[in-house]
Amino acid sequence: MPLTRRDFLRGLGAGGAALAARPALGARGLEAARGLDLPRDTPIPAIRLDSNENPNGPAPAAIEAIKRSLGEASRYPDNPEDLLREALAKAHGVAPEWVLLGCGSTEILRVAVMAFGSADRPLVTAAPTFEEPVRIARTLGVPVKEIPVDRAMGLDLDAMARAAAPGAGIIFVCNPNNPTATVHGARAIDDFVVAVRRSAPKAVILLDEAYHEYVEDPSYASAIPMLKNDARVMVARTFSKVHGLAGIRAGYAIAQPETIAAMRPYRLPSGISAAAGAAAVATLNAPAHTREEQRKNRETKAFTRAFFEGLGYTVGPSETNFIMADIRRDSRAFKAACLTDGVAIGRQFPPFLTHARISIGTMDEMRRATRVFRKHLASA
């Protein structure tokens, strides 16, 4: 029988109760609270549609694996790391030296900028896109060239390739892109890599495929086959999205061994906990569960899209577990209003000041959340 979250917490004993306690929003620096003037004791919202997590939690097999891993909690996680690296290498048809593990793919994005960016080797990225590469680049004094997305909210790949000349160190391509939910097909990515090889032959191209498992557009393909012929192409993946392990922290890069070796010195040693290693391996062995999560996301996303479109709002194409809805009003004020009713949505992403980024929760959550959205959309 599948383990519920409650079973899991009970299984942890007395510590479970403390884990279940709900901390205050302000105390966590939660995405939901960022940029909003909320009292520090505002409770964490009951419905969290702000961070593109999997609302259903991990696979039961992953929860079982986490529980078993606790028996090894006093040991450094060398063995779990080795096992995960081997499992990922097998899954992607490469040798383990082609895999770098990270404490979430956030760590991968950070070490990639550390390894390949410098004061005279800028980072080229899009705007808006996932911010971590820009954050670490600014911290390190790596110059940043941000290329606005186009009118259809897709990455402007031509402009990004041009911006890479003459000496970009690293180009960040989030495909599908967070927060716009748009995707580029395999052909467009191929052409982009060819263009970059002309404009900036030495630049490393980092393709972030955090939402890979949600893509349904048949023109899309992972860039992993490309990196087998190009040492300067790298793919980042995560267990935080469809696999439901955002709180456990596991991500990875796939690239040729020389590229991985250049990043490894920047990695946090033992950055994958025993629990994360075990849970990630169990998830890789549970493809039926992943397919079920894809189905749930597809259905609930269609329900959510129909809600907004039924009210006359435009929702852009989405190849992810979130949507961007143009609610034709200040999305920051809308977000704050929804929070007062216990629903957290994504923050505002300039220049799209009237777009709300809404992660897809469970069907039950979306039924309740859309009642809150309806209420606040009805008020002028």
Ligand X SMILES: Cc1ncc(COP(=O)(O)O)c(C=O)c1O
Q: Sign of the C-alpha dihedral, residues 288, 293, 299, 305?
A: negative
Is the preceding peptide bond at 179 cis, omega within 30 degrees of 0? yes
The answer to whether residue 246 forms part of the interface with ligand X (CB under 6 A) is: yes
Quick one: DSSP state of residue 266? G
The answer to whether residue 318 forms part of the interface with ligand X (CB under 6 A) is: no
- Complex with ligand X: residue 246 or 327, whichever CB lies closer: 246
- Complex with ligand X: residue 105 or 256, whichever CB lies closer: 105
- Complex with ligand X: residue 84 or 377, whichever CB lies closer: 84
Q: Return the biggest CA–CA distance within the chain.
A: 60
The answer to whether residue 321 forms part of the interface with ligand X (CB under 6 A) is: no
**Beta carbons of 26 and 39 less than 8 angstroms apart:** yes
**Considering the complex, what minimum distance in angstroms separates the CB of residue 246 from ligand X?**
5
The answer to whether residue 175 forms part of the interface with ligand X (CB under 6 A) is: no
Paired tokens of 289: 């569960």
Residue 236 host element (H or E): strand 233-238
**Which residue in the set 154, 251, 271, 277 belongs to the binding site for ligand X (CB under 6 A)?**
251
**Beta carbons of 136 and 89 less than 8 angstroms apart:** no
The answer to whether residue 105 forms part of the interface with ligand X (CB under 6 A) is: yes
The answer to whether residue 182 forms part of the interface with ligand X (CB under 6 A) is: no
- Complex with ligand X: residue 52 or 283, whichever CB lies closer: 52
Query: Applying CB under 6 A, what is the total number of residues that bind ligand X?
Result: 13
Quick one: DSSP state of residue 165? T
The answer to whether residue 319 forms part of the interface with ligand X (CB under 6 A) is: no
Q: 195-234: which residues touch ligand X (CB under 6 A)?
A: 208, 210
Q: Sign of the C-alpha dihedral, residues 258, 221, 85, 239?
A: positive
- Complex with ligand X: residue 278 or 377, whichever CB lies closer: 278
Amino acid at 43: P
The answer to whether residue 125 forms part of the interface with ligand X (CB under 6 A) is: no
The answer to whether residue 172 forms part of the interface with ligand X (CB under 6 A) is: no
**Considering the complex, what minimum distance in angstroms separates the CB of residue 355 from ligand X?**
16
The answer to whether residue 252 forms part of the interface with ligand X (CB under 6 A) is: no
The answer to whether residue 174 forms part of the interface with ligand X (CB under 6 A) is: yes
How far is residue 59 from each of residues 40, 62, 239, 273, 279, measured CA to CA in Å? 33, 5, 11, 18, 9
Instruction: Please name which of 171, 190, 211 lies closest in space to residue 318, comparing C-alpha atoms.
Output: 211
**Beta carbons of 358 and 315 less than 8 angstroms apart:** no
Paired tokens of 370: 């859309």
**Considering the complex, what minimum distance in angstroms separates the CB of residue 239 from ligand X?**
7
Residue whose CB is nearest to ligand X in the complex, by number: 104
The binding site for ligand X (CB under 6 A) comprises 52, 104-106, 130, 174, 178, 208, 210, 238, 240, 246, 251
